[in-house]
């Protein structure tokens, strides 16, 4: 009962703070950190201490890395191997070296300096993405570069998850090199194991699960795969999150990727919130007095090192100055993964508690200051390049999660298949979603981009960025589901044209009222086709036939409805 009271207190404070942060459009991860500070042992007021939370919170990072893996399957990493992959790797490596060397020269041990460099190299995709979206810059050149590189940083955090725990046990350069080498061998072996097991087992497993048509079983299967992969790498002495990342990469290559992400998201968000609350509880505001100057210097090191490294790398790649500087300003912000690495380093005793407080405060301050830099990146960028006016040019970069499809088709039955054939023959890019695993398999066998997912689910529409489509075609042979799909599309992306298939006139009318641009009832369309053929046999001029048919369609079948009413 004592724990129940603490859980209720924790949930009450969390809901209140997160709602306030959402209304203020501040990233909720900062809200969770504030909850941890409020309910932590270092502040006045009630303290929440539930030992089981620490275990649960660790799985927040596990599920986060799992979803990151979904966004970075091997084919997607291969597609990004040139600019973003090279720039992203260079940014993380050089920032780690610059920041690590700086604090090492200031007197820190080599292992602690490496951790600080790795922490300072991370940027917050949440803050960057939310602010760019609010400022309308998410599709700008610097916005695309910044988002792509910040997401790629999440992948580079995986090697740090392997290396940092090793630093806590190794003694001496020889022992450190041996421990790192052995950790690398185990990581390669774990990757090979998960890779081949995933290639041979995951797609057949999820086909079998999808055929059950049970969302509950599908979610359980996703949890099983993520946790089994995490347990596999953990049994090799590696981190749980590393295995989850590998499993996500394997599932990212399958047609079930979007539905898998939707299934895991509620668990990820809640447990990740617990993780950040746990980090906030480690923060001691009373300890700021003797260390505030070091924290400020750390903040400046984060902001300056990343801005300069990113800008110089991009200029070296031939990208113009303004885009390079603006991208550097976006990535200057500290990141949540940096806080995660601090927590891991503290648990592994690689860094001291005092150094952890300094690093944590530096990252938090850089999140606040970085948000300001993002807000004014255009003005600051123009000042840095010494230009008052500047027209953006540069090379656009596709984000790994940005679908290239212009048309989204819901359902791969006979109608959906026909539309897919027409789109492919016309050279129009498209993607199809269906909840029937056999249809998905058949569609992929036909060479069409058919994925497993429920098009009526608003979470899926958000995940696939339906607002970027030029057209959505709803071919679902289920009236209520089709109506729900059109309604959700109108709420999420009202600017996108929607055409839908309907069984009869009543269903067509309902779909149009729900927001469909056009809704064609199959029965009437079949009648029109039969009527057209009959008139052709009777030698009625083709122009007259076309005019009659178009009039019926243009009037939303008004002549037919009137005739039906008279009958």
Q: How far is CA 338 from CA 64, 129, 167, 268, 288, in A?
A: 14, 17, 17, 18, 19
pTM of the model: 0.69
Which pLDDT score, from 0 to 100, does residue 460 have? 86
pLDDT tens-digit readout, 48-59: 877 777 777 778
Q: What pLDDT is recorded for position 359?
A: 92
Does residue 128 surpass a pLDDT of 70?
yes
What angle separates helix 240-251 from helix 215-235, to the nearest 10 degrees?
130
Q: Which residues, 6+ apart, have CB-to-CB distance to 30 below 8 Å?
A: 21, 364, 367
pLDDT tens-place string over residues 223-236: 999 999 888 888 87
Tell me what the mean pLDDT of segment 162-182 comes to: 65
Q: How far apart are CA 349 and CA 355, in angstroms?
A: 11
pLDDT for 432? 93
Highest mean pLDDT among 426-435, 512-521, 546-555: 426-435
Report whether pLDDT(474) > 90: yes
pLDDT at 399 over 70: no
Is 546's pLDDT higher than 50? yes
Indicate whether 208 pLDDT > 60. Answer: yes
- Range with lowest mean pLDDT among 187-191, 360-364, 417-421: 187-191
- Residue 25 in tokens: 């459009």
Whether residue 392 is predicted with pLDDT greater than 70 in this model: the reply is: no
**pLDDT (tens digit per residue) in 45-100:** 888 877 777 777 778 778 877 887 786 666 666 665 555 667 878 888 999 999 99
Residue 316 confidence (pLDDT) above 60:
yes
Confidence of residue 403 (pLDDT cuts 50, 70, 90): very low
- H/E run at residue 390: none
What six digits make up the tokens of 221?
Answer: 């299967």
pLDDT of residue 171 exceeding 60, the answer is: no
Query: Of 31-45, 143-157, 335-349, 453-467, which gets the smallest average pLDDT?
Result: 143-157
Q: What is the pLDDT of residue 433?
A: 93
Band the pLDDT of 133: cuts 50, 70, 90: low
Return the pLDDT at 42: 83
User: Average pLDDT of 320-333?
Assistant: 90
CA 416, CA 431: separation in Å to the nearest integer? 11
Give yes or no for residue 109 having a pLDDT over 50.
yes
**Which are the contacts of 12, defined by CB distance < 8 A and separation ≥ 6?**
none
Tell me if 119 sits within 8 A of 96, measured CB to CB: no
User: What b/e sequence results for 338-348 when a residue is b if at least 16 CB atoms lie within 10 Å of its CB, and e otherwise?
Assistant: bbbbbbbbbeb
Structure confidence by residue, pLDDT tens digits, 492-545: 888 889 999 888 777 888 888 888 888 888 766 777 777 788 878 878 888 888
Q: Which of 297-311, 322-336, 385-399 has the highest average model confidence (pLDDT)?
A: 297-311
Asked if residues 298 and 358 have their Cβ atoms less than 8 Å apart, the reply is yes
So what's the pLDDT on residue 311?
92
How much is the pLDDT for 463?
A: 78
* Average of per-residue pLDDT across 294-317: 92
Residue 563 scores a pLDDT above 70: no
In 37-67, which positions are buried (b, 16+ CB within 10 angstroms) versus exposed (e)? bbbbeebeeeebeeeebeeebbbbbbbbbbb
| Mean of pLDDT values over 559-564 | 48
Confidence of residue 398 (pLDDT cuts 50, 70, 90): very low
Q: Give the pLDDT of residue 308.
A: 94
What's the CA gap between 316 and 392, in Å, rounded?
18
Instruction: Please give the pLDDT value at position 264.
Output: 87
pLDDT given at position 472: 92
User: Is the distance from CB of 342 to CB of 359 less than 8 angstroms?
Assistant: yes
DSSP 393-414: -------TT----SEEEE--SH
CA atoms in the 13 A half-sphere facing the CB of 159: 15
Which comes out higher in pLDDT, residue 398 or 250?
250
DSSP code string of 362-400: HHHHHHHHHHHHHHTHHHHHHHHHT-S-----------T
* Percent of the chain surpassing pLDDT 90: 18
**Residue 558 pLDDT greater than 60, yes or no:** no
Go through the domains of the chain in sequence order and give each one's CATH number. 52-385 (1.20.1530.20), 407-566 (3.40.50.720)
Using a pLDDT cut of 70, give the percent of the chain over it.
Answer: 85
Helix (H) or strand (E) run with residue 102 in it: helix 83-105
Q: What is the pLDDT of residue 305?
A: 94
pLDDT at 343: 84
Residue 117 has pLDDT above 60, yes or no: yes
State both tokens at 385.
């390049």
Model confidence at 174, pLDDT cuts 50, 70, 90, reads low
Instruction: Using DSSP bridges, classify how beta strands 518-521 and 450-452 pair: parallel, antiparallel or unpaired.
Output: unpaired
Question: Distance between CA 528 and CA 236 in Å, rounded?
Answer: 67
- Predicted confidence at residue 388, as pLDDT, reads 46
Residue 221: the pLDDT is 92
pLDDT mean across residues, the chain = 81
Element (H, E) at 498: strand 497-502
């Amino acid at each position: 009962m004592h724990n129940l009271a603490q859980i209720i207190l924790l949930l009450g404070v969390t809901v209140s703070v997160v709602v306030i942060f959402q209304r203020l459009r501040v990233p909720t991860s900062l809200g969770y950190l504030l909850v941890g500070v409020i309910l932590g042992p270092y502040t006045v007021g009630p303290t929440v201490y539930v030992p089981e939370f620490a275990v649960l919170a660790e799985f927040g990072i596990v599920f986060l890395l799992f979803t990151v893996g979904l966004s970075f399957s091997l084919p997607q990493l291969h597609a990004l191997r040139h600019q973003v992959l090279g720039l992203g790797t260079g940014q993380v490596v050089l920032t780690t070296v610059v920041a690590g060397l700086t604090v090492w020269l200031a007197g820190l041990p080599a292992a602690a300096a490496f951790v600080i460099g790795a922490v300072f190299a991370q940027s917050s995709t949440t803050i960057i993405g939310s602010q760019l979206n609010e400022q309308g810059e998410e599709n700008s050149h610097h916005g695309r570069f910044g988002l792509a590189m910040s997401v790629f940083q999440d992948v580079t955090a995986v090697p740090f998850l392997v290396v940092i725990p090793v630093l806590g046990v190794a003694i001496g350069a020889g022992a450190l090199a041996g421990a790192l080498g052995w950790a690398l061998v185990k990581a390669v072996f774990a990757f090979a194991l998960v890779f081949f097991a995933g290639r041979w087992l995951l797609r057949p497993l999820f086909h079998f699960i999808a055929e059950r048509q049970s969302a509950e079983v599908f979610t359980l299967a996703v949890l099983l795969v993520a946790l089994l992969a995490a347990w596999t790498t953990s049994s090799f002495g590696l981190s749980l999150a590393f295995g989850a990342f590998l499993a996500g990469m394997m599932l990212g290559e399958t047609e079930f990727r979007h539905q898998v992400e939707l299934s895991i998201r509620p668990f990820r968000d809640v447990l990740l919130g617990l993780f950040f609350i746990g980090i906030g509880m480690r923060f001691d505001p009373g300890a700021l007095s003797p260390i505030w100057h070091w924290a400020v210097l750390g903040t400046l090191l984060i902001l300056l090192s990343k801005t300069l490294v990113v800008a110089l790398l991009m200029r070296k790649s031939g990208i113009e100055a303004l885009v390079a500087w603006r991208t550097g300003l976006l990535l200057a912000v500290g990141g949540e993964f940096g806080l995660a690495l601090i927590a891991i380093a503290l648990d592994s005793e690689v860094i001291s508690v005092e150094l952890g407080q300094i690093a944590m405060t530096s990252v938090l301050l850089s999140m606040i200051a970085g948000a300001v830099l993002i807000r004014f990146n255009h003005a600051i960028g123009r000042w840095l390049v010494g230009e008052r006016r500047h027209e953006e040019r540069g090379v656009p970069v596709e984000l790994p999660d940005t679908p290239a499809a212009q048309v989204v088709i819901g359902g791969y039955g006979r109608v959906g298949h026909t539309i897919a054939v027409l789109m492919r023959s016309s050279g129009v890019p498209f993607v199809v979603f269906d909840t029937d695993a056999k249809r998905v398999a058949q569609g992929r066998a036909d060479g069409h981009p058919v994925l497993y997912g429920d098009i009526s689910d608003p979470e899926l529409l958000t995940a696939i960025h339906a607002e970027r489509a030029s057209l959505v075609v709803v071919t679902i042979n289920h009236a209520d589901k089709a109506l729900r799909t059109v309604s959700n599309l109108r709420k999420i992306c009202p600017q996108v044209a929607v055409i839908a298939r309907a069984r009869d006139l009543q269903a067509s009318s309902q779909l149009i009222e729900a927001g469909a641009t056009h809704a064609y009832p199959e029965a009437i369309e079949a009648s029109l086709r039969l009527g057209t053929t009959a008139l052709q046999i009777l030698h009625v001029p083709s122009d007259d036939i076309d005019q009659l048919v178009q009039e019926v369609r243009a009037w939303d079948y008004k002549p037919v409805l009137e005739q039906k009413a008279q009958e």
